[in-house]
A and B are shown apart, each in its own frame.
Chain A
Amino acid sequence: AQSVTQPDIHITVSEGASLELRCNYSYGATPYLFWYVQSPGQGLQLLLKYFSGDTLVQGIKGFEAEFKRSQSSFNLRKPSVHWSDAAEYFCAVVRDGGFKTIFGAGTRLFVKA
């Protein structure tokens, strides 16, 4: 069965430090991959997406992610974290003809001053 794994339940980084959030997927074909962010008390907002082409994709708020087929990974990165980046981040994959999304369990990011 298709699945999405986010190995880190929570991560703490210092403001200004770099960030990498891990995501691994299990899917038979080339997947459509997404990262969403959820601020406290809010719904999810799309950060970036990968469908095909360049394996390094840029998103909003200075985030980027790299698709690595050989590792079945789609890790999210940011060179310098801001306090406002503290939130929960969800990796997701689209399956079944494109109208069902499977979400990872999420990684909560804490930013310390």
Chain B
Amino acid sequence: NAGVTQTPKFRVLKTGQSMTLLCAQDMNHEYMYWYRQDPGMGLRLIHYSVGEGTTAKGEVPDGYNVSRLKKQNFLLGLESAAPSQTSVYFCASTSRGYEQYFGPGTRLTVT
């Protein structure tokens, strides 16, 4: 039982490049989330999903897109990376929307 996994763990992008972050969970959770963590700002919700095929915007969705084609996977895309998107990205999942289970994070640097 791996819990929540994220790939890649680290990535460096140049401004304007695109990439996709993958989150996978093996706990059969309905709800999945993408957060970004920046110093002194806690975790901010980017997008979330309450079930397969559904997504919704969170607090800071601009510049990101998501897809949930399979229940166990939640993808976060950056279409045209900007330095302001340098951050640590965390995926989380939960079954009833309360306690969240987090992945180990992806550290992204945009130069």
Contact = CB atoms under 8 A, between A and B. Distances in A.
A28 interface: no
A97 B48 CA distance: 14
Contacts of B90: 43-44
A106 B38 CA distance: 11
Contacts of A101: 45, 100
Say which size band chain B's interface belongs to.
20 to 34
Interface stretch (B64-72, B74-82, B102-110): B102-110
A45 B16 CA distance: 34
Contact of A45 (B42, B50, B102): B102
Contacts of B102: 43-45
B96 A90 contact: no
B57 to A, nearest CB: 11
Interface in A58-113: 90, 94, 97-101, 103-106
A99 B42 contact: no
A46 B94 CA distance: 12
A32 B103 CA distance: 22
Nearest to B107: A41
Given A90-B43, A106-B42, A99 B103 contact: no
B97 A43 contact: no
Contact of B97 (A9, A42, A99): A99
Interface of A: 9, 32, 34, 41-46, 49, 51, 90, 94, 97-101, 103-106
Interface of B: 4, 31, 40-43, 45, 48, 50, 58, 90, 92, 94, 96-100, 102-105
